[in-house]
Structure formats: structure tokens, C-alpha cells
Amino acid sequence: MSVIQINNLTKKYPSPDNPSEYFNAVDGVSLTIEAGEVYGLLGPNGAGKTTTLEMLEGLCDIDGGSAFVDQIDVQKNPYKVKQIIGVQLQANEYFDNLSLTELLKLFGGLYRRKVDPEALLAHVDLVEKARAKPESLSGGQKQRFSIACALVNDPKVLFLDEPTTGLDPRAKHNLWDLVRSLNETGMTIVMTTHNMEEAEILCNRIAIMDHGKLIAQGSPQELILKYAPEPPEKVLHGNLEGVFLALTGHGLRD
């Protein structure tokens, strides 16, 4: 059963060279995400990934096409959509003088839900930090806490924007374990990443975007078999990084 359906989704922004003209930051993207999938959105910087997610999340207006989350039309019912999704952003700012427990209660209050902060912190392995302030957390702990905040309304779909950027290898592996355990509860996860290993390990399916368009979609294995240039001296196939470079022609961070 599909939980997200996007049809011909389009977003226009003023052109950076000439503000009186517009360009399609998202240019007719159509895709379907099944319930229970971990779905990765990949592409070079400026490809339109964040804008696509923001339209799905009801955070920015849709200029063309349609988006449905759990059969709810995002354009008609953005507030209803917000009730069933969790959004973890790349960088979060919190009220400085509140503890993790207090912040989770506060966020729960915004959804008019009574939350169990200890259970949420246990989920992200931060019980021992219940009384700490966010500023005292390490990078990996901050990322896990921002996921706990995104879970206060027990979402059906969790959106993660580059969840492991800047994390050391151990923190990154802890976060991968967390994503897997959330997905095992049946939660659909939609994530962006620049880390091809992460995409290959975590995602059931991947979409690659460039210049606002969706240019390829499939399981990591399907994409590797179809697009990755095979090194002539090796019997093994290439990897997802090869797919990305073959399709977009850019380095990962340019």
C-alpha cells in the first residue's frame, strides 16, 4: 500500500541571475513510496530534494501537481498531514534553559499529546541525558534527540534531512541502528543523504534528482546493475557512488 503519492510536483523560485524570472526548483516530479519503506532522496546540492520534502511536509506551497500523504491531499489539508508526520531538520535550535525531558513535554503539548519522555529517550538511547540541556550533547546525541522530538506525535512517516552529516563513524552507526529499529516498528522513513554507503545500507529504494527532475529510481541493487560503471579489472559490480556520478556528472559536494 502506498503512503506517499506525488504527481508532477512543481515548485518555482525566482531565478538567482534574474529575479524577475522564475525557474523550476522542482520540475514535474512523480513518485510513490510504499508503507514501511526506507526511501532515499539523493542528488547534488541544489537538485531540489529539500524543496520536494518541504512541499510534502506542508512547509512550502505547491506550485503545480499534487502530493498525498496517507491519502491526505497536502494542498487541501496541510495541518492534517502535519499530525501524522515527523520532521527532523538538519539543524535544530532549542530553548536553552530546558532539559531534554522538558523539551519533549513541550513538543508533545504542541500536538496536544501527553508524551512519555523516558520512553522516547529510551528509544533514541538518551535516558541518561534526561536532565541535560541540548547544548551539552555530542553531535550524534543531538541528532538522536532531534529524532526523539520528531517522534512525539507517533508519526506514520518520518522525514530525515541528512541525518548523519558531520557525525563520526560510531555515532553514524548508532543512528543507522536507530533508523532500522524505527523502520522495524512499521514506520515509513523518507530521507535525504549525501552518503552513498548510508543510502545503500538503509534504503529499500532510492530516487536520484538533478536540476529539479527525478532522473532514476529503484532499489540500490537495481540502480547499481543498471548504471554503475563496472571496473574492468574487477568481477564485482560498482557501487552507488558510481551510479550517482554516472547520472549526475558532479562530485558529491560541488
User: Applying CB under 6 A, what is the total number of residues that bind ligand ADP?
Assistant: 10
| Segment contacting ligand ADP by CB under 6 A, of 29-37, 49-57, 78-86, 108-116 | 49-57
Helix axes 169-184, 139-150, angle to 10 degrees: 20
Provide, rounded to whole angstroms, the least separation between the CB of residue 253 and ligand ADP: 11
> 46: which residues sit within 8 A by CB, 6+ positions away?
none
| Least distance from ligand ADP to the Cβ atom of residue 216, Å | 15
The verdict on 24 binding ligand ADP (CB under 6 A) reads no
CA–CA separation, 124 and 118 (whole Å): 10
Does 49 participate in binding ligand ADP (rule CB under 6 A)?
yes
Q: Does 163 bind ligand ADP (CB under 6 A)?
A: no
Closest by CA to 56, choosing from 207, 253, 173, is: 207
Residue of 36, 46, 64, 139 that binds ligand ADP (CB under 6 A): 46
Helices 240-248 + 220-227 axis angle, to 10: 60
**Could you tell me where the DSSP H helices lie in 75-151?**
78-84, 100-110, 117-123, 139-150
- Answer for which of 47, 56, 120, 157 binds ligand ADP (CB under 6 A) is 47
Cβ-based nearer residue to ligand ADP, 25 or 149? 25
Q: H helices then E strands: how many in the chain?
A: 9, 10
Does residue 48 belong to the site contacting ligand ADP (CB under 6 A)? Answer: yes
Interacting residues with ligand ADP (CB under 6 A): 13, 25, 43, 45-51
